[in-house]
Amino acid sequence: METLTSAKQSLAATTDFLPLQGTDYVEFYVGNAKQAAHYYMSAFGFQAIAYAGPETGVKDRASYVVRQHKLTFVLTTPLRPGNEIADHVFKHGDGVKVLALRVDDAISAWKETTARGGRSYQEPQRLTDESGEVVLSGIHTYGDTVHLFVERKNYSGAFMPGFRPWNNPHFAPADTGLLYVDHCVGNVGWNQMNPWVKFYEDVMGFKNILSFDDEDISTDYSALMSKVMSNGNGFVKFPINEPAEGKKKSQVEEYLEFYNGEGVQHVALATQDIVKTVRDLMSRGVEFLKVPTSYYDDLLDRVGKIDEDLEPLKELGILVDRDNEGYLLQLFSKPVQDRPTLFFEIIQRKGAKSFGKGNFKALFEAIEREQAERGNL
Ligand code: FE2
C-alpha cells in the first residue's frame, strides 16, 4: 500500500544536522570518459565545463565536467589498471560512483554523519587554487556508491581545484531543457531496503516519505518494493528499491546481476517542457521505453484534465500520473550502456510530489519486454 507523509512536518520539531542545498554533481566511472562526455553533450545537450587529467597534474584518471542548467555530470575514466576507478569499471561497467551533495559546511557534514555510523570515504579535504577553496568530504552508501559533501561557497572557478576550464568553440550543441536532479534511485539486494532506509534516517537525518509494497509494484511476472527517502527541505530524494518474489526474475534482480551488486538504477532529470525535451532527446538518438498505445485510450479518465494535448504525449510515449497535489509527466530511457543497468527518467512535475505509481504496471511490462529480448526474464 502506498503511504505518504511529509518530511517537512516530521522534521519540523528537530534541527536538521545535515542541511543540504541539493545535488552538487553526479560522477560516473566509465570505460571511456572522452566519448561519454561527447554523448552527454551531443545527445543530452550538456555543455563542456572543465577537465582534469595528466595535463592538469592528475596522473591516474581523466575527468570531464559537463553541465546543463543546475545539472552537473562528471565523467571519469581510469588511465591505468589496478586502482579504485579501474576496478569499479571492471566490476560494474559504466555507472554512478558519486552522488555529490552541496553543503554549507563539509567538515560538519562529515563529523555529523560519521558520528552517527556513516563509514568515511573521504576525510575532510581542503582544495585550493587561485579561484578559492572547495572543501570535500564523503561517506559510503549502498554498494560501491558514495556521497561526497561539497562546500564551494568560497570558490569561483569552473568546477574545483585540479580542473581547468574546458570547451570546444566548434562544438556547442543546444541544451534540451534539462534543469536539475529530481531524484536518484538505488537498487539494493534482497532484504536490504529497510537497512538502507535506516541508514538514511540515522546517518543522514532523512525521512521515509513514501512506501510501495509488492502489491503496488508487481506485474504478472515480477515485483519490487520501494521506499522514498527525503532530506528535510525535500531537495534531495533517494528512493530505494529491493526485489520482491515474483514468477520470474525481476528488473531489480537483473540489475543486481549485471551491475554485480547494489548501485544507482536511475537518475531523474527535471524539465519544464517534457514534450520539447523528449522530442529533442529522441532526435539526438536517446532511446526511450515504449508503452502500448492502448495506454492512452483511457488516460484522461484516469488522470483527469491536463494542460497538454494528448497527441504529442501519445506520439512520444510520455506517461502521466496524478496524486492529491497535482500531476506529473514522465518517460524512461533505455539503459545508457550495454549492461542493462543505469537509465534516466525525464520528469515534469505539475504539482505532483509522487513518483508515478499509476504508471508502474505499464512501465514494468515495457521493461519486461526488453528483459525478455535480452533473455533475462
Ligand atoms: Fe523515478
214 pLDDT more than 80: no
> Which one, of 25, 18, 24, lies nearest residue 233 by Cα?
18
Distance 343 CA to ligand 1 centre (A): 10
pLDDT for 198 equals 98
Measured distance CA(90)–CA(175) in Å, rounded: 32
**213: which DSSP letter?**
-
- Please, are residues 124 and 113 in contact by the beta-carbon 8 Å criterion? no
pLDDT of residue 362: 81
Q: Which fold has domain 17-165?
A: 2,3-Dihydroxybiphenyl 1,2-Dioxygenase; domain 1 (3.10.180)
Residue 30 CA to ligand 1 centre (angstroms)? 22
Nearest to 14 by CA among 84, 112, 101: 112
Q: What is the pLDDT of residues 52-99, one digit of tens each?
A: 999 999 999 999 999 999 999 999 999 999 999 999 999 999 999 999
Query: 185 C-alpha to center of ligand 1: Å?
Result: 6
The arithmetic mean of pLDDT across residues 221-243, rounded, is 92
Residue 9, pLDDT score: 54
pLDDT for the residue numbered 72:
98
Rounded-to-integer distance, Cα 358 and Cα 109, Å? 37
Gap between the Cα atoms of 235 and 322, Å rounded? 21
Contact between residue 38 and residue 109 where contact means Cβ atoms under 8 Å apart: no
Sheet of 237-244, strand order = 3-4, 207-212, 223-230, 237-244, 181-187, 263-270, 343-350, 326-332, 319-323
Q: Which is more confident, 16 or 217? A: 16
At position 1, the amino acid (one-letter code) is M
- Other CB atoms within a 10 A radius of the CB of residue 220 amount to 11
Mean pLDDT, residues 237-259 taken together: 91
pLDDT of res. 7: 54
| Mean pLDDT within 139-149 | 98
Q: How confident is the model at residue 178 (pLDDT cuts 50, 70, 90)?
A: very high
Segment 313-335 shows an average pLDDT of: 95
What pLDDT does 10 receive?
A: 52
Give the mean pLDDT of 19-30.
98
Q: Cα(347) to centroid of ligand 1, in Å?
A: 8
Q: What's the number of CA atoms in the CB half-sphere (13 Å) around residue 349?
A: 16
DSSP result, 46-74? -EEEEEESGGGT--SEEEEEEEETTEEEE
Q: For residues 181 and 71, is the Cβ–Cβ distance under 8 A?
A: yes
- Looking at residue 42, its pLDDT comes to 98
CB 138 within 8 A of CB 53: no
Tell how far the Cα of 33 is from the centroid of ligand 1, in angstroms.
Answer: 25
Give the domain ranges of the chain: 17-165, 177-374
At residue 245, the pLDDT reads: 83
pLDDT in tens, 109-133: 999 999 999 999 999 999 999 999 9
| C-alpha 356 to ligand 1 mean position (Å) | 8
Give the pLDDT score at 222: 73
pLDDT confidence of residue 5: 59
What is the pTM (predicted TM-score) of this model?
0.94
Residue 12 has pLDDT above 60, yes or no: no
Separation of CA 265 and ligand 1 centre (Å): 9
What are the cell numbers at 185? 534511485
CA 254–ligand 1 middle distance (angstroms): 18
Superfamily of domain 177-374: 2,3-Dihydroxybiphenyl 1,2-Dioxygenase, domain 1 (3.10.180.10)
Residue 139's SS3 state is strand
Largest CA distance in the chain: 60
Gap from CA of 60 to ligand 1 centroid (Å): 34
CA of 165 to the centre of ligand 1 (A): 32
pLDDT of residue 288: 97
The set of cell numbers assigned to 319 is 506517461
Task: Dump pLDDT digits (tens) for 258-304.
Answer: 999 999 999 999 999 999 999 999 999 999 998 888 899 889 998 99
Name the residue with higher pLDDT: 273 or 11. 273
Lowest mean pLDDT among 34-48, 135-149, 180-194, 349-363: 349-363
Report the chain's mean pLDDT, rounded to a whole number.
Answer: 93
Residue 266 CA to ligand 1 center (angstroms) comes to 7
What amino acid occupies position 137?
S
pLDDT band at 40 (very low <50, low <70, confident <90, very high): very high
Q: What is the pLDDT of residue 2?
A: 55
CA of residue 268 to ligand 1 center, whole Å = 6
- State in Å: Cα 330 to ligand 1 middle: 9
C-alpha span between 349 and 357 (Å, rounded): 14
Distance (Å) from CA 289 to ligand 1 centroid: 14
Ligand 1 center from residue 109 Cα (angstroms): 26
